[in-house]
Structure 1
């Protein structure tokens, strides 16, 4: 009859998953299975404790303090989410992703233990991040196209109104009917374009966040690069700055970029041709601050207190007659709060509007 220890040994032998037990009290690893040697060559199980500093040095510099902080929180029972870490033992080696799942335990002798697993999830992460990049580009492109395509329809609608005024004296029912068809078609087309873009964003507030540690500066830089390449389409200027160049935050990448795209879309709606829209990102001691500023028509003072209300009375068409549901700002606030962040704004009529988002680090 096999004893429990032998069963346990056979169960873990050959597993691609690294199992470990770390004594937080003694500051030493009590157990790792042989997957340790396959995951971190040329390391050996017998030297695992001597390898700890080397393993930490294999993480990118900006990740090392983060990893230690997260493991401390895990040992204190304050953190339960999977911990994703980047690993690059040598600068010329490809980046790998590790997923650490661990829980706090107390041994019979009172030692505080950290018990868990480590898996190589590089393939899954590359797939997810490629999908995230695609989604970000897709959403940004849709926002740009929605403004670009809506412009000609709004212009045709205005021309139809001009023809209607000039042909009223003719009292030609057929001509009046044709002009009305033109107006209805233009209006319905603009609404259809906007509803198509809004539909995915409206559903976002009902979806559970999937957080990951991302370089927010790189993500925003990619979004703003797409807007900058399309300046001629929307007749606006865009700029982006980040201090420092890399800013890491735990957030749902897709959902937060939807927030940014919606804020940028609103800025485009209410900024005259030739106007400037600027996005900035700043790392502060306990949080990051994101701003979206425009020099557009601003928000009337009487509408400002209800801007974030659901189906707010502050909803109004854009300068080109773009439709609004009144849900956008409410959903933006909801998504920011789900990230444990806060959002507020400053605005003056004919002077522009600046939105501020503060996210914890």
Structure 2
């Protein structure tokens, strides 16, 4: 008992100095033994109310988080600790995102630390939104600029052949135009070839977010660039939350939909489906485009394979996109595979654990 008392005293000392919420909770008696001032401030409640009516906190937690928190509590009892357990609370004039680390310090007592991560989540969402705009701009370049530049290059080559033998100043001007056009093409291709590469070497930062919102963020941006194609989103899930790296998830989904656009005709259809199977989500991107020839299928995920193909609008392929995306999927404990019939279309599948 003395050891526990000493531990409680140490935790209380930490609580008085901490900028995070700190608590000690007896879950058999369902009451707080200690809460620090920051904990009270986070929930905007009177400390006396928290001690007298512990379960009042549940009224402020989003309903969809209740089952998730119950599963995390069972993990805490089984393993003795949990970390970065995220939840949302709905206050009278505010919504907050919180993250909790908790430890089982006796047979009936939990010590925990709660951090207000609202600003971090808003910043993360802002970065994803900016990334969506940036990637949409990249797609605009590859779809709307690469093709015309390549066409211009071919026309210049034809004109140069047609005036062969004419005055040197004409040939010199044509050569300058051709070199300038090639430089523009090289800049575009270099820019596009670097997309997503750096993300492979960046550590995985897991956060909890709603999958449908993130997929819609990607889809809405890409729809704006390809209004001639039909898009459909099917959602067949009971839960809407996933805990994974939101940036890497975004990059994977964006690349898969972008590829479908690239190899689907103007009147084609692209269907994005979100299913669940046990503790996993299954995402699929299906198009009725040109499909993948059998001889290229073994090379699809190779870094320097033979699977690179120009898009239907002349977009250049660098043969690295899908190899990078597969690596990103593996980094966040996912699986990526595809099915395709040449001339009929392709489906890419991504399986990710919910937690």
- Range of TM-score over shorter length: 0.7 to 0.9
Hey, what does 2:221 align to over in structure 1? Answer: 226
Q: 1:334 aligns with which of 300, 313, 327?
A: 327
Q: 2:289 aligns with which of 291, 296, 314?
A: 296
| Alpha-carbon spacing, 1:319–1:71, altered in 2? closer, same or farther (3 Å) | same
- Report the TM-score when normalising by structure 2: 0.85
| Greater mean alpha carbon deviation, residues 291-300 or residues 267-276 | 267-276
Aligned mates of 1:268, 1:159 — CA distance in 2: 27
Hey, what does 2:98 align to over in structure 1? Answer: 98
Hey, what does 2:253 align to over in structure 1? Answer: 260
How far residue 218 of structure 1 moved from its aligned partner, in angstroms, is 1.0
Hey, what does 2:121 align to over in structure 1? Answer: 125
Aligned with 1:57: secondary structure?
helix
Aligned pair count? 349
Hey, what does 1:74 align to over in structure 2? Answer: 76
The question of whether the paired residues in 2 share the 8 Å contact of 1:307 and 1:314 is answered with: yes
Unmatched tracts of structure 2, length 5 or more: none
| Alpha-carbon spacing, 1:269–1:47, altered in 2? closer, same or farther (3 Å) | closer
CA shift digits 1:306-355 (9 cap, x unpaired): 21122122122333433322221111111111121111111111211111
CA shift digits 1:29-51 (9 cap, x unpaired): 44333444333343435754742
Q: 1:86 aligns with which of 85, 88, 98?
A: 88
Q: 1:248 aligns with which of 227, 237, 241?
A: 241
Aligned with 1:82: secondary structure?
strand
1:159 pairs with 2:155: yes
Hey, what does 1:185 align to over in structure 2? Answer: 180
1:353 pairs with 2:352: no
Q: 2:279 aligns with which of 282, 286, 301?
A: 286
The question of whether the paired residues in 2 share the 8 Å contact of 1:216 and 1:246 is answered with: no
| Alpha-carbon spacing, 1:350–1:171, altered in 2? closer, same or farther (3 Å) | farther
Aligned mates of 1:277, 1:181 — CA distance in 2: 41
How far residue 164 of structure 1 moved from its aligned partner, in angstroms, is 4.2
- Report the TM-score when normalising by structure 1: 0.84
CA shift digits 1:166-197 (9 cap, x unpaired): 445x5665545544544443343233223223
Q: 2:139 aligns with which of 129, 139, 143?
A: 143
Q: 1:17 aligns with which of 17, 20, 26?
A: 20
Unmatched tracts of structure 1, length 5 or more: none
The question of whether the paired residues in 2 share the 8 Å contact of 1:75 and 1:113 is answered with: no
How far residue 149 of structure 1 moved from its aligned partner, in angstroms, is 1.9
Hey, what does 1:33 align to over in structure 2? Answer: 36
The question of whether the paired residues in 2 share the 8 Å contact of 1:154 and 1:320 is answered with: no
- Superposition CA RMSD, Å: 3.0
The question of whether the paired residues in 2 share the 8 Å contact of 1:204 and 1:255 is answered with: yes
The question of whether the paired residues in 1 share the 8 Å contact of 2:146 and 2:316 is answered with: no
The question of whether the paired residues in 2 share the 8 Å contact of 1:18 and 1:33 is answered with: yes
